[in-house]
Amino acid sequence: MPFFLNILVFFLTFGLSFETYASYSDSNPHRFIDEIEAFEVWDSKNSYPKNSILFIGSSSIRFWKTSLAFPDVKIINRGFGGSEISDINYFYNRIVRPYVAEEIFLYAGDNDIARGKTVDQVFEDYLDFVKKVQSDFPETKITFISIKPSKSRWDKWPKMKKVNAMIKNYAEKKDKLEYADLASPLINSEGNLKNVFIQDGLHLNQFGYSLWQKALAPSLK
């Protein structure tokens, strides 16, 4: 094979491999620095009891009025839109560790899959989060809220379901780990999505959040 063809084959093979790997790499977490600093300003002016419940994750948590949904529970909401599990891990010392929460509800993985991460990578990021929490707070319960299906990311749902299944299977075998299926309430008996989204087809509307509230309420009694 001529030399230039060898060079072409090399770049086609390894160049494409590099691009594929790069597309799966973590995004720059510093894009969230303004939101993280806003949390810290709030925390500097307020205090939380050590038996609080921490809700943390992406915009599905940020938009959820958790304190109104569960008024009898002391809740800290630390959702920041567009975040992945790796971003939460990166800022762990600033948005998880300070609160000494009795229980942590984690919703993330949606953006991770949408941005090209593999199922295994999302699962490993989840394990990293669990390791961090259990190292600092071995008695804290961690509940993973299942990745939700959505209209705008319906093509990604098969991969999201695999992540959910892996985490559910893992959590069932471990102490202090739980899995909350909040995906099923959004799907009707025919396997189609209910009318639970705002216009963007991604974020939940009031009805969608009411279904989440009903499904999660028994866990917060």
**If you average pLDDT over residues 192-207, what whole number do you get?**
97
Tell me if 100 is assigned to some domain. yes
Tell me if 195 is assigned to some domain. yes
8 Å CB contact between 105 and 55: yes
Tell me if 18 is assigned to some domain. no
Q: What is the CATH number of the domain that holds 169?
A: 3.40.50.1110
| Better-scored residue on pLDDT, 160 or 14 | 160
pTM of the model: 0.87
Residue 132 lies in domain: 28-220
Distances (CA, A) of 157 to 18, 95, 115, 152, 160: 26, 28, 13, 10, 5
Classify residue 11 by its DSSP letter.
I
Tell me if 1 is assigned to some domain. no
26 pLDDT band, cuts 50/70/90, is: low
On average, the pLDDT of the chain sits at 89
Tell me if 212 is assigned to some domain. yes
Give the total number of structural domains in the chain. 1
Tell me if 99 is assigned to some domain. yes
- Identity (one letter) of the amino acid at 188? N
Condensed to tens digits (0 to 9), the pLDDT of residues 91-146 reads 999 999 999 999 999 999 999 999 999 999 999 999 999 999 999 999 999 999 99
**If you average pLDDT over residues 143-160, what whole number do you get?**
97
